[in-house]
Amino acid sequence: MTMACPGCVAVPLEREIAPTASDIVLHLPDIHCAACIATVEDGLGALSGVRDVRVNLTQKRAFVSAAAGTDADRLIAALAGLGHRAQVLDGNTLAGQGAAGQDLLMRIGVAGFAMMNVMLLSVAVWSGAADTTRHVFHLIAAAIALPAVAFSARPFFASAFRALSVGRLNMDVPIALAIGLSAAVSLAGALGVSDRASWFDAALALTFFLLIGRYLDHLGRHAAKSAAADLAALASPQAILVQGGRDSVVRADVLVPGDVIRVTPGSRIPADGVILEGRTELDCAALTGETRPDLRSVGQDVAAGEMNLTAPLLVRCTRAGTDTTLRRLSDLIASAEMQKSRYAGLADRAARLYAPAVHLLGLLAFFGWWWASLDAGRALEVAISVLVITCPCALGLAVPAVSTVTTARLFRLGLLVKSRTALERLSEVDEVVFDKTGTLTTGVPVLENLPSDAHLALAAGLAVGSSHPLSRAISAAAGLRSLTPVVVRDVQEIAGCGVTASLDGQPVRLGRPAWVAPGVAAPDASEVWLQRGEGAQAVFRFAEALRPEAAACITALRADGIRVALLSGDAPEAVARIADGLDFDEVQARMTPEGKVAWLQARAAAGRRVLMVGDGLNDTGALAVAHASLAPSTALDAARSLADVVLLSDSLMPVREALAQSRKARSRMGQNMALALGYNLISVPLALAGLATPLIAAIAMSTSSLTVSANAMRPSK
């Protein structure tokens, strides 16, 4: 094997780092076993145009290398046939994610190798090697340790240098001092300038343990970043741009005001604009929380995020890209984000106290010993031993180890933790606020009553081509009863009213009661009537479906002593229908986005720590100001990117689990900090007294790091 420079090796070949542009990355939320891997790889591999498929179970992704022009939708359809949900991820957003982690792993490997070898040599010295042997061992240790320290500890040196060059102290300054000074003093010993003890093993052990802490921290950050990239990649909304009479598909963020776009039924409007052509119903639930579709026609405004339900539209953009409706809330969100980024985690607070304390101790030790013994070399040695022993190996591991373990545990439960301080903030939550549409409910209406098979099959025949949520609910209900939709002719969808068609020469109408049978008193908006010819009307009644385990989750949260509230933008009747069966402490309807923010700020002022669970644009402000926030994966990208945690499963039960796990994690972090400090309390007096030898330093460092890691991994309960 040829040994290359580890620094070059750490940067992976370009081919290996991420899929090339023609490749397709799919997100497969449901895969979990060897059989799933085999099904997906074989199923996709059998498609024409697919060259190679590799499933990554850890990231729940499939990397597909395919011929240019292969349609990702075809892959998704094939996977759906095999029973796997899939979404396309934007390969460009994901490119280059793993490089930093690989780099750190390489440094850990080099430090670990060097530490083991130098430790072996040191053991010989500790157990009594003398004279020439001792000297040769020193030299060999130097030959191994110096290049290893120079390579492995570079992140610490670089960070310390950056901090010092702007006149600040950070956690890495004492680390770099301890590593650098101990290596330098040991080198002087090895070259025979002085006969001080060798601290090479301590310098390497420090580097090794600190790098592990750094790597765990990186994993946490990376998980957060890749979650955000995943979600950004998931979203990348597209628009159909009409230019010179031709349609082309572009990314929504390249649209500029004045562009004319086509919006097909069933898709979200990508930018704010005015309707040029068409008349349709729009589902505004994401913006206002209202479940009832809104009828719009030529000349009226539409907003990004609204869902086109019935007819194709031509829209002239007035505001596009990052400048859309979200702007209304953006000031609010920016200020709230500021507040949140000021939240100092346990580790940050410890670091803030730690750096000055260590410098002070080191200096005191140096000058104290110098004054007492008038021996600068001896004083420097004591100062180094103080720096080495107080070095935050265990402290650096205490928090990241726990968050890594807990984040992984939550991921298995279907929760993606995006923010680094989210766990600590979640652990303080004492009140949970739900949004209604799309959060507490699935956002999809379901058929509530039981019409006869004949009526349902006929209604399904009319509904089959429509993307209106009620039509879909009818089709779904017919599918559940395995009914074949009746074939009807001349299907025409009339925006705001319903669908007409003809069957055996008779007109059939499915739609709003007031339109199907004018003159008959219409009861409720969530009803649809079906009429064939002049016959009697069949009634289809719809209800919003609660997410699985919504009721159980709320009851369990209240049993944990947490207040639960419902804030919805929907009409009071609709909210009351949902809230009736559930055990809420407080229910508010017709809340504007600003209203939700004000409500949350009032709670915060009253000293409550609130977890906001929401999915729509109307929740973004609330998600931003809440102490912690959670969004379901079906939420709009604006909401998902703001939320600290994204709920991947359909069930709401993981919400409670997230709170319980974060409280456990928080107490584990506390224990770890106490353990780390405990070790320091014992070993620092030893070091100050000048009793700490490299052997004692090595033992104290490894045992404290190991105890802290073991405590983090310890299974709960």
Partner 1 sequence: MNVLVFLIPVSVTLGLLGLGGFVWTLRSRQYEDPEGDRERILDDRWDDTPKP
User: Token pair 């109307």 is at which residue?
Assistant: 618
113 binds partner 1 (CB under 8 A): yes
Q: Where are the beta strands (DSSP E) in 211-302?
A: 238-243, 246-251, 260-263, 272-277, 280-283, 294-296, 301-302
How many chain residues interact with partner 1 (CB under 8 A)? Answer: 33
534 binds partner 1 (CB under 8 A): no
99 binds partner 1 (CB under 8 A): no
Candidate ranges 2-10, 274-282, 473-481, 587-595; the one touching partner 1 (CB under 8 A): 2-10
47 binds partner 1 (CB under 8 A): no
Q: Which is nearer to partner 1, 139 or 232 (CB)?
A: 139
89 binds partner 1 (CB under 8 A): no
Q: Which is nearer to partner 1, 500 or 709 (CB)?
A: 709
Q: How far apart are CA 10 and CA 221, in angstroms?
A: 20
Q: How far apart are CA 219 and CA 9, in angstroms?
A: 20
105 binds partner 1 (CB under 8 A): yes
Residues 134-173 that bind partner 1 (CB under 8 A): 136, 140, 144
Q: How far apart are CA 278 and CA 259, in angstroms?
A: 17
Chain-centroid distance of CA 228 in Å reads 5
Is 217 among the residues known to form the active site? no
Q: How far apart are CA 256 and CA 259, in angstroms?
A: 6
98 binds partner 1 (CB under 8 A): yes
Shortest approach of partner 1 to residue 102 CB, angstroms?
Answer: 6
Give the strand pairing for 628-632 and 645-647. parallel
Candidate ranges 77-85, 103-111, 529-537, 543-551; the one touching partner 1 (CB under 8 A): 103-111
CA–CA distances in Å: residue 639 to residues 305, 317, 619, 673: 11, 23, 7, 34
- Selecting among 435, 615, 619, 644, the annotated active-site residue is 435
377 binds partner 1 (CB under 8 A): no
**Do the beta carbons of residue 207 and residue 153 sit within 8 Å?**
yes
8 binds partner 1 (CB under 8 A): no
Q: How far apart are CA 198 and CA 516, in angstroms?
A: 92
User: Which of 48, 98, 102, 100 has its CA nearest to residue 78?
Assistant: 48
Q: Which is nearer to partner 1, 125 or 501 (CB)?
A: 125
34 binds partner 1 (CB under 8 A): yes
Residues 115-134 that bind partner 1 (CB under 8 A): 116-117, 120, 133
4 binds partner 1 (CB under 8 A): yes
33 binds partner 1 (CB under 8 A): yes
254 binds partner 1 (CB under 8 A): no
Give the strand pairing for 610-613 and 431-434. parallel
42 binds partner 1 (CB under 8 A): yes
Candidate ranges 109-117, 282-290, 329-337, 468-476; the one touching partner 1 (CB under 8 A): 109-117
Among the listed residues 24, 25, 106, 142, the single contact to partner 1 using CB under 8 A:
106
604 binds partner 1 (CB under 8 A): no
55 binds partner 1 (CB under 8 A): yes
The one-letter code for the residue type at 339 is: Q
**Do the beta carbons of residue 492 and residue 511 sit within 8 Å?**
no
Q: What six digits make up the tokens of 588?
A: 């508010």
57 binds partner 1 (CB under 8 A): yes
Give SS3 for 628.
strand
**Do the beta carbons of residue 242 and residue 314 sit within 8 Å?**
yes
16 binds partner 1 (CB under 8 A): yes
Among the listed residues 23, 47, 59, 78, the single contact to partner 1 using CB under 8 A:
59
600 binds partner 1 (CB under 8 A): no
CA–CA distances in Å: residue 90 to residues 18, 56, 75, 255, 534: 12, 16, 15, 18, 53
37 binds partner 1 (CB under 8 A): yes
Candidate ranges 111-119, 204-212, 248-256, 491-499; the one touching partner 1 (CB under 8 A): 111-119
The one-letter code for the residue type at 520 is: V
Q: Which is nearer to partner 1, 414 or 513 (CB)?
A: 414
Shortest approach of partner 1 to residue 109 CB, angstroms?
Answer: 4
**Do the beta carbons of residue 443 and residue 285 sit within 8 Å?**
yes
For residue 294, give every residue at least 6 positions away whose Cβ sits within 8 Å of its Cβ, in sequence order, or none: 281, 282, 283, 284
Q: Which is nearer to partner 1, 141 or 464 (CB)?
A: 141
Q: Where are the beta strands (DSSP E) in 537-595?
A: 538-546, 563-567, 586-588
110 binds partner 1 (CB under 8 A): yes
Residue numbers at the binding site for partner 1 (CB under 8 A):
1, 3-4, 6, 9-10, 12-13, 16, 33-34, 37-38, 42, 55-59, 98, 102, 105-106, 109-110, 113, 116-117, 120, 133, 136, 140, 144
Catalytic sites, residue numbers:
435
